[in-house]
Structure 1
């Protein structure tokens, strides 16, 4: 099986197979978002427990734990090690969710699924960037963002179609994620290891006393001021944006209720349309333009559109036009915005020896930020109202806009080796492998 896959799973096909981690991640979040009300009605838990479930899921703390474990393992054992085994854990989690009969099983399912997602996503972003040609790196990295967009588009569409079935329909969605995960796992068996990681690992294994440009692992990552600066920059870009996007991903039906748009089936169709806009923004925006035009300008456009979408939703009276305006603005912005640039810049700004560790640490930090807000979000939405909580979300997005626009790195068109040489080659001391 592996030999057959190895002959076929190369180039764009390999990129797509690895990018499916993002479909699965987003699909998990949407499955939770669309089913949470049904679970709550079935098991009778409070808004506080609903927030705890969301906080411990693939949307937040569960993914954070997986990322902080999976990132360093990906650097030490290889990219292929993670994306070979993480989906096995994921499939266990979604099956438990599909057949959950009480809130304890549901909690276990969300945590297990979240850990698997957190371990897989850093590996996928890293592998894609390392295998992509330098002149098309954004296009290849954008494939992960595209998969992340397709997941919710399909997830919400399925939720809308299956909404009349209630909780049973939600269980079907979790089963669909199991099937997608199994197919993805099967295809991935034919993938080869990242060439860049293999070269770096060969240096370490053949000559343990040798030094590698930039160092390796968390020790190399945190030993340089320029890495700390890059981490702070990327938290400003992705961590703040994702804090808002995480709430939109899992609590959007509640936000729509607060805005006066209360029909659940219409909400799901609107969300499917929103994510279709994200697919369009990703393909025709980020993938088509980020290798050719000013990345600073493209990032700024996406960030402004995202803020404009939330201003419309929060402050303009609810109507069909208002909801579609929000869906178009936020959807397109998410396609060319912070998450796609985060995946690209994280791959470019860190050495091969700790590229996945940096991804894991940043993903961990971003998901912790989401989890903190998620824990109280359902309650705060009730007590503060959409205007009060919406103002906070808009302020958080504004931080992401400013950080990414002002400090966007100049890495476009350069190979990863050229970027590493520029960032680490001038240093007299390099960390040991």
Structure 2
């Protein structure tokens, strides 16, 4: 019982990095118009902030750094330093008085967010028992959804203070990061990573090159699946998370309080269905069916948002569909499959490369999204996002593996055979 409690404590402690990841993105989103007015930002400056932040190139670069470090020095190694960098970034944002200061804060925070992702998802998956991997990883997703819900609720009250309210939010992220950093110093190293390092010390052991990620057929399929579904989903979710308050305000003519309330409701539904579906049933139900249902709900949600008359009914219906589907979305399955389908010795590198593609993709589209929205209009832009979600569904239908109930060791042996 004591071991179970300790494992769950470690799971929640590591999952707090996901809380801080999402928190950094959404704190910026909820006060976007406030920063625009204070610093007199145009569409290009707004796009640049999104592009280099924790939702874009900053996180992409961080993942390329953090993945190899997590494989070489351990998952716990990342936790010694990452949140120290994060705290510097959010402090700069909280205290920003000009655009360069704000931009540097976003970049530093983004790098810190990206660097911890491979370590976090690897740790949660590696420390889980064979029949509890979805449950363990699901708590990371739960924390990821809990942060935006909390911040949007706080925004309802803090935005009355104007920009000061948004500064307070980043100050709160600093405080949470400090507490989390202290707790993360107490966790144990991943047992699977330690066993892999002991194996590498054995005489005659030949370490697999990182190029195997692309040269072995099993890895290529895993890469197409993990990178495909997560990159495409995150193009939509990333833009949505960063610009949805803007869309609600400009397209739906909602005030800031109404916009934040709708966003908080989305995230409440997300964490509720993360718990009900991914944590409680993810290790039991057919994953291809669960994934497909989520994708279909996402497509319908955006079709409603794009074509239905804009009003409370259509916006709440969108919130319900997207919020529920996000509880067992591509992000959940990326976290699961990127742990299950790549070898321990380069798992972090593979996750880092994929996360780089994911956040770089958001970075690129963030540069042009405000302009695209203005030039093409909301309906055409929305249909582009619907097409992206449909392609994601097709990739999942083709490549989803059956790994329920299997340990990480059993999956590796099955997939790599004599190469294991």
TM-score bracket, shorter-length normalisation: over 0.9
| CA drift at 1:372 | 1.1
Residue 206 (structure 2) aligns with? 211
Q: TM-score, normalised by structure 1?
A: 0.94
- Of 321, 333, 341, the match for 2:325: 333
Please say if 1:296 is aligned against 2:288: yes
- After TM superposition, the structure 1 stretch with the greater mean CA deviation from structure 2, 54-63 or 154-163, is 154-163
Matches within 5 A, 1:198-237: 198-204=194-200, 206-207=201-202, 209-211=204-206, 215=208, 218-237=210-229
2:295 aligned counterpart, secondary structure: helix
1:190 aligned counterpart, secondary structure: coil
Residue 71 (structure 2) aligns with? 75
- Of 119, 122, 135, the match for 2:118: 122
Please say if 1:101 is aligned against 2:97: yes
Aligned equivalents of 2:106, 2:393: Cα separation in 1: 31
Q: Any gaps of 5 or more consecutive residues in structure 2?
A: none
Confirm or deny: 8 A CA contact 1:240 1:396 kept in the other structure: yes
Please say if 1:241 is aligned against 2:237: no
User: Alpha carbon RMSD of aligned pairs, Å?
Assistant: 1.6
| CA drift at 1:374 | 0.8
Residue 62 (structure 2) aligns with? 66
Matches within 5 A, 1:343-382: 343-382=335-374
Please say if 1:57 is aligned against 2:49: no
Aligned equivalents of 1:67, 1:183: Cα separation in 2: 23
Confirm or deny: 8 A CA contact 1:84 1:185 kept in the other structure: yes
Cα displacement string for residues 187-235 of structure 1 (whole angstroms, at most 9, x for unaligned residues): 111101000101111232x3475125xx25x344334232122112212
Residue 383 (structure 2) aligns with? 391
Aligned equivalents of 1:47, 1:284: Cα separation in 2: 40
Please say if 1:14 is aligned against 2:10: yes
Confirm or deny: 8 A CA contact 1:8 1:190 kept in the other structure: no
2:402 aligned counterpart, secondary structure: coil
Aligned equivalents of 2:254, 2:414: Cα separation in 1: 53
Confirm or deny: 8 A CA contact 1:7 1:190 kept in the other structure: no
Aligned equivalents of 2:381, 2:33: Cα separation in 1: 21
Confirm or deny: 8 A CA contact 2:283 2:404 kept in the other structure: yes
Please say if 1:284 is aligned against 2:276: yes
Aligned equivalents of 1:71, 1:316: Cα separation in 2: 43
2:418 aligned counterpart, secondary structure: coil
Cα 1:338–1:32 shift into 2, 3 Å: same
The number of equivalent residue pairs is 419
Aligned equivalents of 2:405, 2:312: Cα separation in 1: 43
1:336 aligned counterpart, secondary structure: coil
Cα displacement string for residues 153-182 of structure 1 (whole angstroms, at most 9, x for unaligned residues): 001111111111110000000001011111
Confirm or deny: 8 A CA contact 2:218 2:416 kept in the other structure: no
Q: TM-score, normalised by structure 2?
A: 0.97
Confirm or deny: 8 A CA contact 2:31 2:159 kept in the other structure: no
- Which structure 1 residue ranges, 4+ long, deviate > 6 Å from structure 2? 6-9
Residue 394 (structure 2) aligns with? 402
Confirm or deny: 8 A CA contact 1:9 1:191 kept in the other structure: no
